[in-house]
Amino acid sequence: MQSNLHDDDCFALRQAARHISKLYERYLSEAGITPTQFSILRTLRGNSGLTMTELATAMLMDRTTLVRVLKPLLNDDLVVAHLEGRGNRLRVVLTESGSKKRDAAAAHWAAAQASFERAFGQREAERLRSELFRMTTSPFDR
* Backbone dihedral angles phi then psi of residue 136, each to the nearest 5 degrees: -75, -10
- Please determine, for residue 63, whether its predicted confidence score (pLDDT) is greater than 60: yes
Q: What is the pLDDT of residues 77-96, one digit of tens each?
A: 999 998 877 767 889 999 99
DSSP output for 22-65: HHHHHHHGGGT--HHHHHHHHHHHHHTTEEHHHHHHHHT--HHH
- Please determine, for residue 34, whether its predicted confidence score (pLDDT) is greater than 90: yes
CA 122 to chain CA mean position, Å: 20
User: Distance between CA 24 and CA 26 in Å, rounded?
Assistant: 5
3-state helix vs strand vs coil in the chain, percent to 5: 70, 10, 20
Domains of the chain: 5-113 (1.10.10.10)
| pTM to 2 decimal places | 0.86
Q: Report the pLDDT averaged over residues 93-119.
A: 97
